[in-house]
A and B are shown apart, each in its own frame.
Chain A
């Protein structure tokens, strides 16, 4: 028994007939797309609505569904056939769209796809990024022990000379419209440090290199930290302010500093506002540019509009950095704060997802946590160019973590 009565307050969930159309990558002859996965994720509520799954693929590049009104992130995957010299080729595609509005009874979603080959084995990858720092027994933060782990994810020994780690100039927690918008062609960096070029640095399959901020025994200052004197490399900055000086362990080789925005010392953003790539400054190991040649040619001098929240006044603000062409990027990891993520700052083809350590800004539970790549099988780490799937968020940081026995 219950009491029910109809009224204006019996609001139903408004829905819209939504047509999703996926455009084939440009430049292909006779492209034919087939959708094997189409997922709408409600940005407001987190509800995941799978419209197409591999068990029920759609041999079409468009799909119509009725969806509750809302704001969605859309991802699609599928098969892509095209013709080259009269011969049909087959590969896979991905397509993504973020913050797409569905409302008004009828909505149209158009996604641009890109070629994605899941069977391609990766080479060097970023296996772990530790950016939060640790906490002390006195509940203070300790920030000198950050590190990156570069891992050989292939089946052969690879030369790591010239591998660069770079931090994005854009923030994943603040979406802006930059001019020029180069994201589909290049990664805009505000800090770039690389393994010196000139002598081979061979890394065996399944082995890794540890790149640290300060290669010292941090346990002296914080028993909850580690002894990083055995790191492979450290980055070192000559600070313009004497009281803010970097630490240099002369027994550990320094990375080559290509560029950094700060005049003092650099460390990865401690709350995870920026993304990172592993790249070379050249097409391959043998053709890597010098710092002078690179910085002369790849500067980024852009702007964005800043709107003052109280007055609505608009001011054009500069955004400077250096571009790393996407074709030079070996691996990319978008990082954010779980509750603050607004956009990825890499091209979708580099990284289609994102990961995190903090649940909120200034999350007191983030200390001592890192993002760590999952193991796929044996010595191979998972690398689908989607950090949401490929990484373990909030992993307990360990610079000496063994990915395989």
Chain B
């Protein structure tokens, strides 16, 4: 006898089946198991512990190699944040593999290339805004930016008796530029490495890992207009700028890095208690190379993440509950200099003016049913609270707001015949604004004041996010499956605006 939820999902799935024209229900465990391991809620509900390479390396029991070509179109009718623009249109190619080299050694790797256009970026000419705010280079012109992203990553995990060793290294590069004035050219290089170890103790594996990364961005703005240049601003938050060095100091370097560590505990047989805590610190200096590498500002962020989960196995399915906490604390420091003599600036003082904090607490659960080996469905509700606080010490400025959010995700996966599989899902989340507090007396320009005020209005208001996704896979050659995947998201934003995102990709896996 089907339960009420099962009846609804069976109806939805019957609808999908009618559209697709398929109706057979054979056993397809072996064929699609690698995808099942990775895409099912049972497989991905517990997430944080597997950031340790020693645990990640033995997360899956099957090998999977995948390559795809895809595109993304994202459009905001009103920028959620002016500095990141109103859209991102990109083409992407990527490949990844997770390979069981031997029963004791697993390896993985990935490579990705993405090229796209960031649309209508305003008050920002620097790449990696989310890493470097509030200290970036801005101007009042802005425009579209072409961006290319490259990334490579590789890792391994090896069992030695009760011990597991794991390691991972990766490299990311970004090139961002514009072909009309003002012409920023930003190149980013980031190298990171991580080492982890896990020990089998009773019915658990306990693990620890450390991670470090080195980051560099070289940024410059050129002008081809024969009449001259426009003014650039070195932002310090809330639409303000470092007046003394504003102007034509268009060459900037960012130098920094990060390190972190984590502890984790996972059950041996996949079900039971799991826990993880992670801490990371990243820091970035902003320097003016044309002023004897003058260090203008420093931003530093600490991040603590924690996850506690309990999962249960059922005869035909699984369920679980999870509590998570994600705390970010960012501080910004300005370096104050005295009278310059021949382009040397004596350091007078430092001022820790800026602070940004995000505290996110959530409870989630999942229920996944596998009525037969040919299909499964899951429901994953979540409820949470997130508070964002941004302040500037002197003169006092602040932008604080909170949201209560709740949502759910429904997913269905169905195999048709020996060669077809269809995965689909619906999701919806509502962020309800519970309070907001804004104080800003002035900014460097009326233009930047409007930007700061608009960003606050867009980010502090309520929003609703809904999405749908579909993935159709078919075994076309022995052992090789092709797939077509598409998803769409629609977000209702404040100020009668919205965000539309479309993703599509064509790939294969084996």
Contacts and interface: CB of A to CB of B under 8 A. Distances in A.
Nearest to B243: A46
Interface in B328-371: 329, 331, 333-334, 336-339, 341-343, 348-353, 357, 359
A139 B228 contact: no
Contacts of A366: 228
What band does the interface of chain B fall in when counting residues whose beta carbon is under 8 Å from A? Answer: 35 or more
Given A3-B327, A44-B244, A69 B226 contact: no
A71 B394 contact: no
Contacts of B338: 71, 99, 101, 103
Interface string A1-31: 1111100011111100000000000000000
B357 A2 contact: yes
A119 interface: no
Contacts of A141: 226-227
B444 interface: yes
B229 A364 contact: yes
B348 A68 contact: no
Residue from the set A14, A141, A366 with the largest chain B CB neighbour count within 10 Å: A14
B277 to A, nearest CB: 14
A47 B393 CA distance: 13
B231 interface: yes
B243 A44 contact: yes
B349 to A, nearest CB: 4
B300 interface: yes
B43 interface: no
Contacts of A4: 329, 357
A367 B394 CA distance: 37
A11 B292 CA distance: 25
Interface stretch (A149-157, A354-362, A373-381): A354-362
A361 B230 contact: no
Contacts of B357: 2-4
Contacts of A10: 331, 352
B228 A45 contact: no
Contacts of A9: 300, 331, 352
Given A361-B248, A362-B248, A71 B225 contact: no
A103 B349 contact: yes
Contacts of A11: 331, 333, 350-352
A3 B304 CA distance: 10
B231 A309 contact: no
A59 interface: no
B226 to A, nearest CB: 6
Residue from the set A2, A68, A135, A338 with the largest chain B CB neighbour count within 10 Å: A2
16 contacts: A2-B359, A12-B393, A45-B243, A70-B348, A101-B338, A139-B227, A140-B227, A309-B342, A338-B247, A359-B230, A360-B231, A361-B247, A361-B248, A363-B228, A363-B231, A366-B228
Given A3-B304, A14-B350, A46-B243, 17 more contacts: A2-B357, A3-B327, A3-B357, A11-B351, A44-B242, A44-B334, A46-B444, A103-B336, A141-B226, A309-B342, A309-B343, A360-B228, A360-B230, A362-B248, A363-B230, A364-B229, A365-B230
Interface of A: 1-5, 9-14, 43-47, 68-71, 99, 101-103, 135, 139-141, 307, 309, 337-340, 359-367
A1 B393 contact: no
A15 to B, nearest CB: 9
Given A13-B394, A14-B349, A339-B247, A44 B337 contact: yes
A101 B348 CA distance: 8
Nearest to A41: B243
Nearest to B385: A1
A1 B358 CA distance: 10
B395 interface: yes
B299 to A, nearest CB: 11
Residue from the set B331, B334, B337, B351 with the largest chain A CB neighbour count within 10 Å: B351
A44 B296 CA distance: 11
B240 interface: yes
A71 B385 contact: no
Residue from the set B242, B329, B402 with the largest chain A CB neighbour count within 10 Å: B329
Contact of B349 (A70, A339, A362, A365): A70
B389 A47 contact: no
- Looking at chain A's contact residues, the main secondary structure is loop
Given A44-B244, A309-B342, A338-B247, A364 B228 contact: yes
Contacts of A361: 229, 247-248
A103 to B, nearest CB: 4
B231 A14 contact: no
Nearest to A136: B227
Nearest to B346: A101
A124 B242 CA distance: 39
A222 B351 CA distance: 51
A360 B395 contact: no
Given A307-B342, A363-B231, A69 B248 contact: no
A45 B229 CA distance: 22
Interface in B292-344: 292, 300, 304, 327, 329, 331, 333-334, 336-339, 341-343
Nearest to B244: A44
A362 B329 contact: no
Interface of B: 223, 225-232, 236, 240, 242-244, 246-248, 292, 300, 304, 327, 329, 331, 333-334, 336-339, 341-343, 348-353, 357, 359, 385, 387, 389, 393-395, 402, 444
Nearest to A314: B342
A241 B337 CA distance: 46
A339 B444 CA distance: 13
A5 B243 CA distance: 31
A313 to B, nearest CB: 11
A307 B393 CA distance: 38
Contacts of B389: 2
Residue from the set A4, A101, A339, A361 with the largest chain B CB neighbour count within 10 Å: A339
Contacts of B359: 1-3
A-B residue pairs, 7 tightest by C-beta: A339-B247, A11-B352, A364-B228, A69-B349, A364-B227, A46-B243, A362-B228
B122 to A, nearest CB: 18
Contacts of A364: 223, 225, 227-230
Contacts of B387: 1-2
Nearest to A271: B228
A348 B11 CA distance: 86
A307 B389 CA distance: 47
Given A9-B352, A69-B351, A139 B331 contact: no
B180 to A, nearest CB: 13
B501 to A, nearest CB: 30
A359 to B, nearest CB: 4
B240 A45 contact: yes
A175 to B, nearest CB: 8
A244 B246 CA distance: 37
A360 B223 CA distance: 13
B244 to A, nearest CB: 4
Residue from the set A70, A141, A307 with the largest chain B CB neighbour count within 10 Å: A70
Contacts of B292: 309
A189 B242 CA distance: 33
A215 to B, nearest CB: 26
A136 B26 CA distance: 77
Contacts of A69: 336, 348-349, 351
Contacts of A367: 227
Contacts of A340: 247
B246 A71 contact: no
